[in-house]
Amino acid sequence: MKLATRSFGEENVGIYFGWISAAHQLGAASAAWIASLIRVDLGDYFLAFTLAGCLCIIASVMVLFIGRDTKLQPVPVVA
């Protein structure tokens, strides 16, 4: 929640956090559905787990590049 607040501002955090949650649920449902299709076609989940692992590795590499272009701004302290 704090990350969404810092990224989108306090006035917009509610709607954006809702969209983030909805996108997460759609992604999880899609992954489960695709895994079931793979299971029906091939008879086991090996390919589904392998694809999920590859996607996790790709995502972890992408995370390394988050915020590379932005410069850190000092946070003002209110006395």
Average pLDDT over residues 43-70: 90
Structure confidence at residue 37 (pLDDT): 96
What is the secondary structure of 52-68 as a DSSP string? HHHHHHHHHHHHTTTTS
Structure tokens at 50: 């392998």
Distance between CA 62 and CA 70 in Å, rounded? Answer: 16
DSSP category for residue 35:
H
Q: Is the Cβ–Cβ distance between 42 and 50 less than 8 Å?
A: no
pLDDT per residue as tens digits for the range 2-50: 877 887 888 888 888 899 899 999 999 999 999 999 999 999 999 999 9
Structure confidence at residue 3 (pLDDT): 78
pTM over 0.75: no
Q: Is the Cβ–Cβ distance between 1 and 21 less than 8 Å?
A: no
Reported as a pLDDT band with limits 50, 70 and 90, residue 73 is: low
